[in-house]
Structure 1
């Protein structure tokens, strides 16, 4: 549309502005017509390639050329150049500069017509000259609207980038959760099974088949336990809600500990995320107790407080000697990460005072 209007003004000027020739006043009119046409065509230059200072100089020269064309021409549509250049002043320049230059355009063109500096201007009122700067207001309005649209688009793009970043963070968080679950199920279970199989292999050399059978049975028992843990993991990944008290009881029984769960407070259904993470903490604690303190007594307490749920697992020292390798520490890290995601606190370490001195205790407090 802009190019079409620009070409229309230039064509109208070429057909109507007189005199136009190769000598005298006609040559001056032709030269000014070319300058005005060039100033008008320059509207198509990208803003990024023309500085504000260069735009002020170019548009100021355009105003002088438009006023001069009105002064030397005898008839035609020379005043159209002033109108269109003024409109572009409002669009291209900042508001203050645009208003100053548009006012100058009106006064200059109005003065040309008022003082009748050129031939044939008795047909045009000097008021027409004063109105040549008014299109700048339309240019300012157009520029303001375009800037608002650009700002809205930039805000939308920024919001989209933020949404993508949030989605990526959620994906990474979910991956971390799955990694913790896989570690809880596989790392400890396979380590325990491998330890029993190595023990059975070592006992074969002694010929003690009874102990070999015992180690083999223990490995089979741990495989069954691993399958149960895998089922719990599938439930957690599917966000299925498991009954907290019943599942803790089943965990203790499958690990060989009976009647060691104490429940305090009014039992209630807690949110699924809290249930899943408390079960994982219990699973990790029981696995560590079986690995590092075999034969030791295990006591579990679940407290439903007014604004939190508290799970405490304490195990006594081992009653038999078992050689284990150095752990990766991922289990305790996973516990702390789970509790931190829920805004709770966790303490995991040896009891250093009181009647349970020497025990290992894990205590998780999850707010609701």
Structure 2
């Protein structure tokens, strides 16, 4: 994008006043010793000065540029015969041409050089002395420097606008990723659990166990309610990721939250144990949330890809970091294989959980990382949050 370079109404009014003053001075100081063409060219440069500003205000950039070049050429040519009066519009014309970053720099410098040269050419027939000539050429040179300064300012302003737009775009992208990550976490846990419960209900109804099916329906209703609550908390967290004055999360509270996830996994027919090593410490809400989500995702993956396999989870406290390590045996037959009882659930995976988990830990204030790999016949996930 380009920063607007159209003159304001105030600038247009000041141009008209300045042009009027110089035009009046040209007429008042014109004598019989000056050729009429000098007065005519001087007035033309003044009039085109105003016309150029009006065209720029109207957005006719190329026409305004052409007017500025004519102002420089005509004004510089008659600068000496008019005792330097037309140096003003000529220097402003140079400033305008050089100051627009949309035009090539070399073109602006060429126009400025031609203007300075024409001042010297126009001084030859008028017999202007050297000091006055140098003063007029200095005025043109000031126009060149002012134009370069304005150009640099506008380029910097344009870059600042681009940086702001890029920052907004990056913020929107980060928000979109955060929404997708939290939706995945909530849906993978709650809806995945619902699929398991409904499969169990279907099997129990086929066997005629209505009471067992009813208990599974009640459990499914509770799971759906928990999922709705998680979704609401996720939305609240997206609106205010780290509320001002948020209290730290004690190690005991994190342990209780992880125990709840283990209990939920067991209620869905899974087997899991949680072991804690090391002395815990307080965590930020973001760190605690990331660790909970890591265990939640690992358990969801175990239910999908290794149903019935025991899950070993460990919370490891160290001086400068805390880890959640979750592992389970790799199944002999992939859970997504044809004929597998949970093939539909396994097929729902798309590796977005692990990707989102890595993004969540990488975004922690003190940093973090996630690693997942098959090690010795077991699938091991390690999520690590740095404490300092």
TM-score (norm 2): 0.67
Q: Is the 8 A contact 1:6 1:40 kept in 2?
A: yes
**1:242-295 per-position Cα deviation (integer Å, ceiling 9, x unaligned):** 443332233223433899332333322234333222211111112232344444
Corresponding residue to 1:288 among 291, 295, 301: 301
Larger Rg computed on CA atoms: 1
Does residue 1:249 correspond to 2:274, yes or no?
A: no
Hey, what does 2:182 align to over in structure 1? Answer: 181
Corresponding residue to 2:126 among 84, 109, 127: 109
Does residue 1:347 correspond to 2:348, yes or no?
A: no
Secondary structure of the residue aligned to 2:84 is: helix
Corresponding residue to 1:314 among 321, 327, 330: 327
Within 5 Å, which residues of 2 pair with 1:119-130?
Answer: 130=131
Measure the CA separation in 1 of the matches of 2:124 and 2:36.
24
Measure the CA separation in 1 of the matches of 2:272 and 2:198.
30
Hey, what does 1:58 align to over in structure 2? Answer: 74
**1:117-164 per-position Cα deviation (integer Å, ceiling 9, x unaligned):** xxxxxxxxxx6x852552443454355345434533442343233123
Does residue 1:365 correspond to 2:376, yes or no?
A: no
Does residue 1:328 correspond to 2:341, yes or no?
A: no
Measure the CA separation in 1 of the matches of 2:278 and 2:175.
32
Hey, what does 1:114 align to over in structure 2? Answer: none
Q: 1:290 to 1:313 in 2, by over 3 A?
A: same
Measure the CA separation in 1 of the matches of 2:220 and 2:120.
95
Secondary structure of the residue aligned to 2:325 is: strand
Corresponding residue to 1:49 among 66, 84, 91: 66
Secondary structure of the residue aligned to 2:281 is: coil
Within 5 Å, which residues of 2 pair with 1:79-90?
Answer: 81-90=82-91
TM-score (norm 1): 0.70
TM-superposed CA distance for 1:173, in Å, is: 1.0
Hey, what does 1:215 align to over in structure 2? Answer: 216
Within 5 Å, which residues of 2 pair with 1:186-205?
Answer: 186-205=187-206
**1:158-178 per-position Cα deviation (integer Å, ceiling 9, x unaligned):** 323312321231122122212
CA RMSD, aligned part only?
3.9
Secondary structure of the residue aligned to 2:83 is: helix
Hey, what does 2:44 align to over in structure 1? Answer: 38
Q: Is the 8 A contact 1:106 1:133 kept in 2?
A: no
**1:31-72 per-position Cα deviation (integer Å, ceiling 9, x unaligned):** 5432443244344464622586x6665345435xx64xxxxx
Q: Is the 8 A contact 2:325 2:383 kept in 1?
A: yes
Q: 1:295 to 1:225 in 2, by over 3 A?
A: farther
Hey, what does 1:156 align to over in structure 2? Answer: 157
Hey, what does 1:121 align to over in structure 2? Answer: none
Does residue 1:304 correspond to 2:321, yes or no?
A: no
Instruction: Point out where structure 2 has 5 or more consecutive residues left out of the alignment.
Output: 1-13, 53-63, 95-108
Measure the CA separation in 1 of the matches of 2:215 and 2:381.
30
Secondary structure of the residue aligned to 2:280 is: coil
Measure the CA separation in 2 of the matches of 1:221 and 1:244.
22
Q: Is the 8 A contact 1:90 1:135 kept in 2?
A: no
Measure the CA separation in 2 of the matches of 1:12 and 1:174.
63
Measure the CA separation in 2 of the matches of 1:232 and 1:33.
79
Hey, what does 1:22 align to over in structure 2? Answer: none
Give the aligned length: 324
Q: Is the 8 A contact 2:48 2:71 kept in 1?
A: no
Q: 1:9 to 1:152 in 2, by over 3 A?
A: closer
TM-superposed CA distance for 1:313, in Å, is: 0.8
Q: Is the 8 A contact 2:271 2:310 kept in 1?
A: no
Hey, what does 1:275 align to over in structure 2? Answer: 288
